[in-house]
Structure 1
Amino acid sequence: MSETSTTDYALLGAPTEYLTPLERPGLAEAQAWCRDLATAHYENFHVATFFLPRKVRPHFESIYAYCRVADDLGDEASSAVIATRLLDTWGAMLEECYDAPERSMHPVFVALRETIAVCDPPRQLFLDLLHGFRMDRYKREYESWEELLEYSRYSANPVGRLALWVCGYREESLAELSDKVCTGLRLANFWQDVVDDAERGRRYIPSESMLRFGVEEGQIEGRVFTPEFRAMMQDLVARTRAMLLEGGALRLHVDRELKVVLDLALKGGEAILNGIMRQDFDVLRGSPMVSKARTAGLLVEALAGKLRVGMAT
């Protein structure tokens, strides 16, 4: 990676590794930076991109890098005010990438410019993600299921829409199915991370669900599992599973290589929900981690699908 400037006031307060380099990197260097970031922060993402056609992998990696840096700028800043300023700056750098790409210096935007030139993804999807990251700093709890869906509209769904766009799918009907998959995956992660989120001062279980099933506000913090809490989690898991199932119809409309990746994501979400069910919906005793054996099995299944695609072409 290029040497970075410690006097980069545009991103002052950001992690050092995210500062803009003194010299503009070349495209290959910028794409390598994004690839390294994807590998270092989320190995499963890098594994998933292996199952995609080689020509689109750099685009997925540049999109991931944009999201990863933005997420860290919002989440790791020392205050909500600083987080907002950093995210606003990141948004301005995105606008520059679209409108005056020759001025882009950060490796993320040098790489992302190539994705924009080749695939022409809608700018608003990237801006929507920034709105979702801002919400993470200012909104700590959710009143209704609809509020959760609205949050996912910004924080999760743009990623799926960008993935479809990069792969050449522009139909709104397919994007809406992707929204269901992305929202379902986000909700599944919320349900398994109830305790961790509570320790960070966040509650994604809707207030309306707690009221409906008679769950008290302090039960999460106190880890008080009751039949009422079990019934609430059963309902939330069932609704999330139905959403993933409905969104899974997307598999019928994409090519076989993208279908392999989609299957991997859907089975990962199902594994989380099944893990919650296996521990009798008691997420208060800790996250129901997907076993290494199950994770390996999902990857083997995906690899087998990749090989079948190769043999058929």
Structure 2
Amino acid sequence: MPVDHYENFPVASLLVPKALRGPIEAIYHFARAADDLADEGQVPAAERLASLATFQAALDQLEAGATPAQPIFQRLAPVVRQHGLPLQLFRDLLDAFSQDVVQTRYRDYPELLDYCRRSANPVGRLVLHLFGRDGAEQLHQSDCICSALQLINFWQDVAVDWQKDRIYLPGDDMARFGVTPEDIAAARCSDAWRQLLAFQIARTRALMLSGAPLVHHLPGRMGWEIRLTIQGGLRILERIEQADYDIFRRRPRLGPLDWLVMARRSLTM
């Protein structure tokens, strides 16, 4: 199932045990639908926030023991109850998506990571809960992977996000490297831009690799699913580097040959 933040990576693929594909898809359907509400660019902000508030209200119903009427929650409710999933993680997702409606710039890297903590990390944590692998170390490693995936999506989508008047590059880093919003608007791939993006890629790669040991804590095929996910993220970073950081003229994507590379590298993790 495609999810924009993870469109380059496997989601509930055949590597996932069959019994958990449905629950994982239910989680992603919730995240995708809520993210779509936040991203309806032609809809006034107040209406988008009101739509997200209906999801918050549905979570409140679910917490009170009721099953909300919306089809997404009809599917999600039994998953939450059967696996004891923390509803706060779903609320964190909604909080991040609501933030996307009203905030278009980020002051520094810690502020951006706080957004990732709510926009991406909850999905990984929910999946770990499904597998009963929710120890502190495992959750931290999952957070590193999910935040890195979110950041990778930002770096490959700078031009796309600009069309929504969003810049996820930390403002203090942009100032330090001498890159302005006007440079992004002009799709200016200058030396300053290359240095800025190279810095972000190096930091994101290190974050991803710090979470990679998680694969050794996950059983069987799920471990291979996460191996491919990690390698997919790292491969996108390589694609950006190979394009000399010019994401304006060609958005990095994964092709069939990339998946072969990812599969081979997964064997040595």
Equivalent position of 2:211 in the other structure: 247
Aligned residue pair count: 265
Q: Distance in 2 between matches of 1:39 and 1:211?
A: 35
The question of whether the paired residues in 1 share the 8 Å contact of 2:10 and 2:228 is answered with no
Moved more, 257-266 or 152-161: 257-266
Question: Which letter does structure 1 place at the counterpart of 2:17?
Answer: P
Say which of 131, 134, 138 aligns to 2:95: 131
Equivalent position of 1:80 in the other structure: 45
Q: Distance in 2 between matches of 1:185 and 1:211?
A: 24
Q: Distance in 2 between matches of 1:256 and 1:186?
A: 25
Specify which structure has the higher proportion of helix: 1
Say which of 140, 153, 156 aligns to 2:120: 156
CA 1:46–1:97 in 2, change beyond 3 Å: closer, same or farther? Answer: farther
- Aligned to 1:223, the other structure's residue is in SS state coil
CA 1:75–1:241 in 2, change beyond 3 Å: closer, same or farther? Answer: same
> What CA deviation, in whole Å up to 9, does each residue of 1:61-82 have, x standing for no partner?
1111111111112212601101
Q: Distance in 2 between matches of 1:59 and 1:265?
A: 19
CA 1:107–1:45 in 2, change beyond 3 Å: closer, same or farther? Answer: farther
Say which of 233, 240, 243 aligns to 1:269: 233
Q: Distance in 2 between matches of 1:215 and 1:197?
A: 16
TM-score when normalising by structure 2: 0.91
> What CA deviation, in whole Å up to 9, does each residue of 1:121-149 have, x standing for no partner?
11100000000100111110111111110
Equivalent position of 2:184 in the other structure: 220
Say which of 142, 152, 166 aligns to 2:130: 166
Equivalent position of 1:9 in the other structure: none
Q: Unaligned stretches of 5+ in structure 1?
A: 1-37, 306-313
TM-score when normalising by structure 1: 0.79
Deviation at 1:157, TM superposition (A): 0.5
Equivalent position of 1:292 in the other structure: 256
Equivalent position of 2:24 in the other structure: 60
Calculate the aligned-residue CA RMSD, in Å: 2.2
Question: Which letter does structure 2 place at the counterpart of 1:282?
Answer: D
Q: Distance in 1 between matches of 2:162 and 2:10?
A: 29
Equivalent position of 1:232 in the other structure: 196
Say which of 61, 64, 83 aligns to 1:99: 64
Structure number with higher relative contact order (C-alpha < 8 Å, ≥ 6 residues apart): 2
CA 1:51–1:44 in 2, change beyond 3 Å: closer, same or farther? Answer: farther
CA 1:126–1:50 in 2, change beyond 3 Å: closer, same or farther? Answer: same
Deviation at 1:43, TM superposition (A): 7.8
Say which of 140, 144, 147 aligns to 1:180: 144
Identity between Structure 1 and Structure 2 (%) = 35
Q: Unaligned stretches of 5+ in structure 2?
A: none
> What CA deviation, in whole Å up to 9, does each residue of 1:157-186 have, x standing for no partner?
000000100111121221111010000011
> What CA deviation, in whole Å up to 9, does each residue of 1:196-243 have, x standing for no partner?
111111101111111111223311101112111111111100000000
> What CA deviation, in whole Å up to 9, does each residue of 1:255-297 have, x standing for no partner?
1222111111101101110000101122232312222332366
Q: Distance in 2 between matches of 1:65 and 1:47?
A: 11
